[in-house]
Structure 1
Amino acid sequence: MMTHTYNDYEKIVLNKTPLIDVRAPIEFIKGAFLNAVNLPLMNDEERRLVGICYKEKGSDEAIRLGHKLVSGKTRLERIEAWASHLEKYPDSLVYCFRGGLRSTISQQWIIEETGKEILRLNGGYKAFRNYLINALIPSQHTIPVLLGGFTGSGKTHMLKNLRNSIDLEGLAKHRGSSFGRYINPQPTQIDFENNLAYDLIRHRHKGHNHLIVEDEGVNIGRCIIPKQLFLYFKTGNLILIDLPFEERLLNTVDEYVFLSQAEYVKVFGQEQGLLKWAEYIEDGINRIKKRLGGDLFKRVTVSFDLALNKQQLTCDCSLHSNWIEILLKEYYDPMYRYQIETTGNKIMFRGSTKEVLEFLKAIN
C-alpha cells in the first residue's frame, strides 16, 4: 500500500495541526509537541519486549513479535482509539520516533480498517524536534525588548495584552520566584523548548519588528532558557513599569494568597487545600532563608503564622498582606533595585502601566 508523508513543519506550527504520537508512553512523557496526543502502537512493556527481541534475534523476529503482541482485540482497540481521534480532528498527522515502521504500520492500519486518510510526519519526532531546535536560534530581523518592574507590577498581565510578546513564565508554568510554583508540574525541558519554538515561529511569521519578553533569569523554575536565546534576549533595552507600592502589594497578595489558595482548594478541598497551600508558602520562605537572614526570616515566618491562624479561625485573610509587605519592602524591592542600578541594559522607557502599554504598542 502506498502511504504518503508530510514535511511542511512550519505549517504544522502555524496551523496548530493535531498530531497522533504512536510512540510508547515512556517516550511521550520525556518530550512531545503541542497539540499531540499519545495513542501508542505499543505500550511500554510491549516496546520493551520487542526491544529485547531485536537485540537478541534481529529485526525480522522483533517485527513478528510486535505483530503478535498487538493483535486481535488489542489491535482493534488501538485502531478504534486512532479512529475516534480522527473523527474529532480529521486533519491529524501520525508520527513515531523517526517516521519509520511504527508510524507506517499505524497509518496502514488506519487506512485499511477505517477508510480514513491520514498523512505520516516525514522524519517523525526526531526531524520535527530538530526543526524546532533550529527555530530557537535568534532572528537577526527582530529586536528584543525586556519588560521589567518591581514584583507585583503586572508584567505578565501586560504581556498578554501585546501581540508581539512571548510569555516565558506562562510557557514554563512558573511565576519565576520562590513562590512561583503552580499545583500542576512544570513541563519537561524538551516540552518547554518545543513550546517556546512554536511561539517564536509564529512571532516571526507575523513579521513583528520587536519581540517583547519579561526580564527573566536564565532559569524559570526548573526550565532553562536556551543559552543562545537567553543571551539574545539580554541584548534588548529595558522598559520599566512604575506602579505605586500599594497597588503592587494588592497585586502580590491577590496572586500569592487568593488566586493561589483557590487553586489548592479546587484540587484538595477547603480544609486540606488551605493546609497544602500553607506548606507551599512555608517551603518558599525556607528556600530563601539564607538570603533573608535570621532576623528577617523570623519576622516573615511569625507574620505568616499569625495570618494563617487568623484565617483558619475567622476566615479573615487581611493579615496576609503583612508578611507580603515585609518581603516586598525588605527583600524583593532592594534586590530588584540593585539589579536595575547595576544592569548593563539601557532603560529605553519607564512609566505607568498605561504609558508603558501605549509605548510598547507604538514601537512595533
Structure 2
Amino acid sequence: MSNTIAASEYGRLLLEKRPLIDVRAPIEFNKGAFPESVNLPLMNDRERQLVGTCYKQEGQQAAITLGHQLVSGDIKQSRIDAWCEQVHQHNHSYLYCFRGGLRSQLSQQWLQHAGIDIPYIYGGYKALRSFLISTIEQAESNHHFLILSGSTGSGKTEFIHQRKETIDLEGLANHRGSSFGKQITSQPSQINFENNLGVALLKYQQVKPSSKLLLEDESFLIGRTAIPQPFFKAMQQAPVVLLEEAFNARVDRLHGEYVSNMHQQYCTLLGEVEGFNAFAAYLVDSISKIRKRLGGKQHDELQGLIQQALKQQQNQHNLDGHYAWISQLLSKYYDPMYLYQLDKKLTKVIFKGNATEVHQWLNEQI
C-alpha cells in the first residue's frame, strides 16, 4: 500500500493535533472539517462542479481528463506551491480528500514530484468522520454520565470549568444555551460541532478512561446546534446533581453575562456607538425569541423594561436598570420552567448543594 494513514491510526492523529491538509473543494470544507485542518483544495468549487457533471454524463475517465485540463499549468503549480508552503511550516502534515481516493492520490503524487512525501488518510474525510461519530455513540459505554443541573444563573458553566472530569458542550457549541445565550461570534456548523465533540471525547478517554463524565444539563438544541441523539439520550437517562444558588446571586451573574460582558464585547468589536446598537438589538431579539412562551402581556412588560434600561444606559452610562428585567425574567419565566422540568427528573437526583458542597461531593465520588 502507498504512503497512507490506516484507520487504526485515526485516534492517534487526532490526539496529536496532527496538521491536516484538506484538499476537498471549499464548499465541502465549509460544511465540516476537522480540528487542525486547513483547506488547500485540489479543485475549487467551479472546477469540482464541472468534473462532477462530466463524470455523470461521460464517465470516470472523461472526468479525470477534464480535471487535468482544468488544473494544469500555472493553476496546478499554484496549488502545489500552497501545499509545499504548508508542509514546510508544518512538516508533520497529513492530507485527505473525501474518500481517500483519486484526489488524495493525485495530490500526494504531485507533492512527491516536488520532493515532498507525506501520507494521506486512508478512507479520507468520510472514514475519519465515521470514526468520530462512532466515538460519540460509544461514549455512554465508556463512561458513566453525570448531569449537573440547576436554575438559570446558578453558575453551572462556571462550575464545569473548575472541574477536570467534564466536557463543555456549550463551549463546543459557542452558545450559552438560553434564549440570551448567543455569542458575538457565530456557532460552528453542526458537523464541526460533532467532530469537535468526538475529539473532546477522545482526549477525555485518554486522560480518564472508564471514569465519570460530568456534563451540564442541556436541551437537545444549544442555540441552533443539536446534541447527537445517542449522546443526548444517554444524558437524559443519567443521574443528576443539583447546583443551588441564591436568587440575588443568580441575578448578578446573569447581569454580568447578558449585560456587562456582552455590551463590552460588542463595543470592543464595533466601537461605542455601533456596539451599543448591536447590544440593544441582541437584547430585543433574545426576548422576542420566547414571546410565545412568555405570552404577549409578559413579553411586552419585559420588552418595556429592557427599553427603559437601554435608555438609562445610553443617557446615564449606567447598567443598573437591567437588573429589573433580569429579575422578572428569572422569577416569572426561567424559574417556573426549571421547576417544571426538575419535577420530571426528581427521581434521578442523587445530590444537591451549593458550589462548595457539590465540589466536595464530587471529589469524594470521582
TM-score when normalising by structure 2: 0.94
The match for 1:236 among 234, 238, 256 is 238
Residue type of the partner of 1:264? Y
Correspondences of 1:225-264 after superposition (within 5 Å): 225-264=227-266
Deviation at 1:258, TM superposition (A): 1.5
Distance 1:346 1:110, change over 3 A: same
**Contact residue 265 and residue 272 of structure 1 kept, 8 A:** yes
Task: State the Cα deviation string for residues 61-86 of structure 1 (Å, max 9, x = none).
Answer: 22222122212222222122212222
Deviation at 1:205, TM superposition (A): 2.5
1:290 is matched with 292
Deviation at 1:140, TM superposition (A): 2.2
Quick one: distance in 2 between partners of 1:344 and 1:241?
A: 14
Deviation at 1:147, TM superposition (A): 0.4
Quick one: distance in 1 between partners of 2:234 and 2:59?
A: 47
Quick one: distance in 1 between partners of 2:16 and 2:269?
A: 33
1:313 is matched with 315
The match for 2:269 among 262, 267, 270 is 267
Quick one: distance in 2 between partners of 1:345 and 1:189?
A: 32
1:176 is matched with 177
Task: State the Cα deviation string for residues 106-149 of structure 1 (Å, max 9, x = none).
Answer: 11222221x23311000001111111111121332421100011
1:14 is matched with 15
**Contact residue 140 and residue 231 of structure 2 kept, 8 A:** no
Task: State the Cα deviation string for residues 126-180 of structure 1 (Å, max 9, x = none).
Answer: 1111111111213324211000111111111221222211111111111111111
2:132 is matched with 132
Give the 3-state SS of the residue equivalent to 1:140 in structure 2.
Answer: helix
**Any unmatched runs of 5+ in structure 2?**
none
Quick one: distance in 1 between partners of 2:89 and 2:258?
A: 38
Task: State the Cα deviation string for residues 240-291 of structure 1 (Å, max 9, x = none).
Answer: 1111222211110111011112222233222112111211211111111122
Deviates more, 1:41-50 or 1:269-278: 269-278
**Contact residue 6 and residue 120 of structure 1 kept, 8 A:** yes
Give the 3-state SS of the residue equivalent to 1:136 in structure 2.
Answer: helix
Quick one: distance in 2 between partners of 1:361 and 1:160?
A: 15
Quick one: distance in 2 between partners of 1:325 and 1:109?
A: 63
Residue type of the partner of 1:328? L
Residue type of the partner of 1:197? G
Residue type of the partner of 2:193? F
Deviation at 1:221, TM superposition (A): 1.4
**Contact residue 235 and residue 345 of structure 1 kept, 8 A:** no
Give the 3-state SS of the residue equivalent to 1:91 in structure 2.
Answer: coil
Indicate whether 1:341 and 2:343 are aligned. yes
Deviation at 1:345, TM superposition (A): 4.4
Task: State the Cα deviation string for residues 282-329 of structure 1 (Å, max 9, x = none).
Answer: 111111112212332222111111110111112111111111111011
Distance 1:217 1:345, change over 3 A: farther
Quick one: distance in 1 between partners of 2:55 and 2:238?
A: 52
TM-score when normalising by structure 1: 0.95
Indicate whether 1:30 and 2:34 are aligned. no
1:58 is matched with 59
Deviation at 1:344, TM superposition (A): 4.9
Quick one: distance in 2 between partners of 1:283 and 1:306?
A: 16
Alpha-carbon RMSD: 1.6
Give the 3-state SS of the residue equivalent to 1:129 in structure 2.
Answer: helix
Deviation at 1:32, TM superposition (A): 1.1
User: Identity across aligned pairs (percent)?
Assistant: 44
1:152 is matched with 153
Deviates more, 1:60-69 or 1:43-52: 60-69
Distance 1:194 1:345, change over 3 A: farther
Task: State the Cα deviation string for residues 177-203 of structure 1 (Å, max 9, x = none).
Answer: 111112222222211111111112222
Quick one: distance in 2 between partners of 1:344 and 1:30?
A: 40
Quick one: distance in 1 between partners of 2:112 and 2:216?
A: 47
Deviates more, 1:201-210 or 1:11-20: 201-210
Quick one: distance in 2 between partners of 1:90 and 1:345?
A: 54
1:281 is matched with 283
Give the 3-state SS of the residue equivalent to 1:234 in structure 2.
Answer: helix
**Contact residue 172 and residue 197 of structure 2 kept, 8 A:** yes
Deviation at 1:208, TM superposition (A): 4.6
Residue type of the partner of 2:239? N
2:330 is matched with 328
1:74 is matched with 75
Deviation at 1:35, TM superposition (A): 1.3
Give the 3-state SS of the residue equivalent to 2:141 in structure 1.
Answer: coil
Residue type of the partner of 2:152? T
Residue type of the partner of 1:230? F
Quick one: distance in 1 between partners of 2:210 and 2:313?
A: 48
